[in-house]
Amino acid sequence: MAKENLSFYDVKTKAKFETSEFEVREKNGRYYAVAQSQAGTHECWRVLSKVDAERLK
């Protein structure tokens, strides 16, 4: 099953991008989608709801 595209905002380059290459992480009870930035070596994080996190795992 292929992952769906999620949109991320890269704070360092101030640009939006979409990718299906991300992983779901839990930190302090919250869920995040984490993708590698397309413009650098840093990570871009997006907050997910609990329902979305379970669906995208």
* pLDDT tens figures, 27-43: 999 999 999 999 989 99
18 in any annotated domain:
yes
Residue whose entry in the numeric block shows the structure tokens 């996190």 = 53
> Total structural domains in the chain?
1
Dihedral (C-alpha) 38, 39, 45, 49: value to the nearest 10 degrees?
A: -40
22 in any annotated domain:
yes
38 in any annotated domain:
yes
28 in any annotated domain:
yes
Around 26, how many Cα atoms within 13 Å sit in the side-chain half-sphere? Answer: 8
1 in any annotated domain:
no
pLDDT above 90: residue 1: no
Q: What is the pTM of this model?
A: 0.88
Q: What is the pLDDT of residue 3?
A: 80
pLDDT above 90: residue 57: no
State which residues form the domain around 23. Answer: 6-56
24 in any annotated domain:
yes
Question: How far separated are the first and last CA of the chain, in Å rounded?
Answer: 11
Q: What is the pLDDT of residue 2?
A: 65
